Structure formats: C-alpha cells, structure tokens
Amino acid sequence: MLSAILLSSSVKAYCDTVIAPQQLLDWKAAAAQGDAAAQNKLGLIYSMGQGVRQDYAEALSWYKLGAAQGNASAQNNIGIFYSEGLGVNQNYIEAMKWYQLAANKGDADAAVNLGIMYLEGQGVRKDYPEAMKWFKISADQGNANAQVNIGWMYHDGTGIARDYAEAMKWFLLAAAQGQEQAQFSIGDMYEKGEGVKQDFNVAMEWYKKACDKGSRAGCISLQKLKAAGYGPQPLP
C-alpha cells in the first residue's frame, strides 16, 4: 500500500484557523441556545485547542449535544473520538454506530470512515465490497480522502483486480483538490512506471506538489531524485 488509509473529518478545516475571541463568544452563545451547528463547532475548537485549552472531554460533551439533535458532522466526530481513543477508551463498535448514523444522513466524511471500518475489519467483519461502496458514496460527493482511498484499493488490488489506470484516475481527482497523499501517489507511480511511462521529471513535479502541501514522503522522494541527478540541476 502506498500510504495509510485516511480518516475524514471536518476537524482539518480548523487546524490552521485563528478563532477570534468574539467569534468564540458568539458560538458559545449560539450553542447555549441549542444551535447544533454551533455545538459541533465548539467540539471542533476544543478538540483542536484553537483559542481554548485542548480538552477532549469538553469537545465530546459539545459533540454529543449536537449529535442528539441529529447533526451529522457531530455524530461523525464522536465516531472519530471512539475509533481513535481520544479522551475515551477506544471502541470500534461504538465508533461504527456513530459513523453509520452520520453516513445514513449523507455525511461524506462519515461515509469515508465507515468504509475504513469495513476495510480494516474494525468493529465489524472485514468486507472490501462494502468498504468500496461507502468510499464511492463519499467520493461522488467530492470527498478527496475517499477518492484517494479508492485509488489505493485499485493500486494495491485490495478486494478488487489491480488496475493502475483506475487508481491514477482517482488519485488525479483527489490531487486536483490539493490532497497531498494523492499527489505523492501519482509521483510514486510515475517514478515506478506503474500504468504510465516511467518519467522521473514528472514524478518530481508531483513530489514537489506533495512536499509543498506538507507531505514528508513527498519531500524525501523529491530530494532522492534530485540527488540522483534528475530535474533541473544547479549551474556549476
């Protein structure tokens, strides 16, 4: 497998966000009035420690309030807490329950995560066709993590015939959204000549894109090819 299968969550959108004090106060006021979306936002903020001290217990309490009102994003985020053991004992069965609730509402992130549970056999019997079904449900909504997960399944022949052309198609869809693991995977396929003509310079272009997005593997592969003499060379 080229890389680890990706969980999907709205948490990532808050990683680099600076939360203004007044915005935080407004969300707290709305959450206290029963606004489910605001309750989910507070859960995200406390889970990331953005503008507040990181507190998984506080995050989970806000997620549960939002989830009780049917907020699918909050339900998905509770699933992540249980699948990753964030402030709670890791419990795949409990995670499955929350992912299923959210995925049934059409939440694309939850559909990715439900697919992962079937792929890895976490809290449920391993089932590759079911995993692919949920990944495709999410990918059809434009979820880049779902698209790259499908790409990896085709690349590795996981529960399906290996198909490099199909893998490349899904990697390109995800890469177009700036998904760094997809960008790295495309570079890897060009470096190895998997389903495409081997081209170290094209591989370097994709590795650079991945590196610029924060992929350590992309940076390492880029430097390796530079050291081997590929790509533009410095003037003597």
Do 136 and 148 fall within a single domain? no
Do 199 and 212 fall within a single domain? yes
Phi-psi region of 125 (alpha: psi -120 to 50; beta: other; left: phi over 0): beta
Phi, psi (deg, nearest 5) at residue 184: -60, -45
Please give the pLDDT value at position 16.
Answer: 52
pLDDT at 125 over 60: yes
| 235 in a structural domain | no
Do 67 and 175 fall within a single domain? no
For CA atoms 221, 227, 233, 235, the dihedral sign is positive
pLDDT: which is higher, 3 or 100: 100
| 91 in a structural domain | yes
pLDDT at 3 over 50: no
- CATH number for the domain spanning 206: value is 1.25.40.10
Count of domains forming the chain = 2
| 225 in a structural domain | yes
Report pLDDT digits (tens) over 75-121.
999 999 999 999 999 999 999 999 999 999 999 999 999 999 999 99
Report pLDDT digits (tens) over 24-65.
899 999 999 999 999 999 999 999 888 889 999 999 999 999
Report pLDDT digits (tens) over 58-69.
999 999 999 999
Do 89 and 12 fall within a single domain? yes
Please give the pLDDT value at position 1.
Answer: 39
Report pLDDT digits (tens) over 144-171.
999 999 999 999 999 999 999 999 999 9
Range of the domain at 13: 1-141
| 105 in a structural domain | yes
Do 8 and 72 fall within a single domain? yes
| 162 in a structural domain | yes
Do 120 and 164 fall within a single domain? no
Do 4 and 114 fall within a single domain? yes
| 93 in a structural domain | yes
pLDDT at 11 over 90: no
| 236 in a structural domain | no
Q: Residue 92 has what DSSP assignment?
A: H
Average pLDDT, the chain: 91
Do 161 and 127 fall within a single domain? no
- Give the list of residues 6+ apart from residue 152 with CB closer than 8 angstroms, or none: 1, 2, 3, 5, 158, 167, 185
- Of 87, 116, 141, the residue that ends a domain is 141
- Of 108, 141, 174, the residue that ends a domain is 141
pLDDT at 234 over 90: no
Q: Are 168 and 195 in contact (CB under 8 A)?
A: yes
- Give the list of residues 6+ apart from residue 204 with CB closer than 8 angstroms, or none: 187, 222, 225, 226, 230, 231
Do 119 and 182 fall within a single domain? no
pTM of the model: 0.89
- Of 118, 141, 164, the residue that ends a domain is 141
Please give the pLDDT value at position 233.
Answer: 64
Do 71 and 7 fall within a single domain? yes
pLDDT at 2 over 50: no
Q: How far apart are CA 105 and CA 107, in angstroms?
A: 6
Do 85 and 174 fall within a single domain? no
Q: How far apart are CA 197 and CA 72, in angstroms?
A: 43
Do 108 and 170 fall within a single domain? no
